[in-house]
Amino acid sequence: MKALLTILGIVAAALGSPALSSACPLVSGLPDSNCDGRLVIAVLGDSLVAGIGDSIHSGKGGYVLRAAQRFPDATFLNFGEAGTTATNIIFDVERGFAGRGHASLKAGLVEADLVVLDVGRNDQWRAQSPLATLRNLKRIQTTIHNNVRQLTGHNALIVTAVLMIPKRLRQAPWIGELNGLLRSSNSTSAPTDLRFDTIPKRYLSADRIHPTSQGYDKLASVFIAYMSNLYPAHVKKLRPDRDRDGLYDEFEAERFGTDPSVTDTDYDGVSDGADSDPLN
């Protein structure tokens, strides 16, 4: 409860308090896409996000915990739940934004600089087609985008992971088909280029679906590389800074009152991103 209140307090402060001008900073060397001085990564998914089978961390944490250790100044929110499906996450997200529970999930999504979806593998057990699961993943993206935009005025950055392939004979071909759909749907506004399908199957545990601790190390390596390389590239495309003053165009006029086409709005010789009072 204390952690939840802390998250809600941070979100309330970010949405309700006037912002001072300062360059959108790097946090742990990564871009602060919300330009609020913090870096928050929210990861939604199933047991592989939760870290089931991660023996060196008592079966929890997984690759999200390892990424948090690599980027200590960032905040990683792990919303992994064993057995969950894309359909379950649709309901959780919709209920959260409607105020019917899941308050910590809503708060995390509003505050997040990046939202990661790593889910879909359990949908096969519900006799659902890979195409239906892809549509549900797109619905999750749309729901988050629309609600975050309404609450904050900016677009959420969401990436959907291409899933690690299990060894289970019935499930592996199904996930392979879903992964093909995901890869072909990759776009600038809705990237699906977090490639967990590159992890060899030899890093799976005896249950043939959950990684060993060494497997979670490999997942973390892919995730950390993504955060270090592709995430900044996406921010650069989706958060342009035309005047190169260190403030993203999307936030200049509304949040800081500055001109996104002028480096020094008040012509005092200090760029808007470095000016404590950019309008005077």
Tell me, yes or no, whether 82 lies in a domain.
yes
Domain limits at 63?
Answer: 24-238
- Assess if residue 246 is contained within a domain: no
Nearest in space to 119 (alpha carbons), one of 155, 151, 93, 83: 83
What DSSP line would sit under 53-92, residue for residue?
T-GGGTT--HHHHHHHHHSTTSEEEEEE-TT--HHHHHHH
User: At 22, which helix (H) or strand (E)?
Assistant: none
User: 276 pLDDT band (50/70/90 cuts)?
Assistant: low
- The closest of 274, 240, 272 to 257, measured between CA atoms, is 272
Banded model confidence at residue 258, pLDDT cuts 50, 70, 90:
confident
Amino acid at 201: K
Number of domains within the chain: 1
DSSP 3-state of 137? helix
pLDDT tens, residue by residue, 117-130: 999 999 998 889 99
Query: By the 8 A CB rule, do 122 and 210 touch?
Result: no
Taking only the tens place, the pLDDT of each residue in 24-54 is: 778 999 999 988 889 999 999 999 999 999 9
Instruction: Please report, for the domain that includes residue 219, its CATH number.
Output: 3.40.50.1110
Q: Three-state DSSP class for 52?
A: coil
> What one-letter code names the amino acid at 182?
L
Q: Is residue 78 part of a domain?
A: yes
Q: Is residue 151 part of a domain?
A: yes
Residue 56 forms part of a structural domain? yes
Whether 273 is in a domain gets the answer no
> Would 14 be classed as within a structural domain?
no
Residue 109 confidence class, pLDDT cut points 50, 70, 90: very high
Contact predicate 247/253, CB 8 Å: no
157 inside domain:
yes
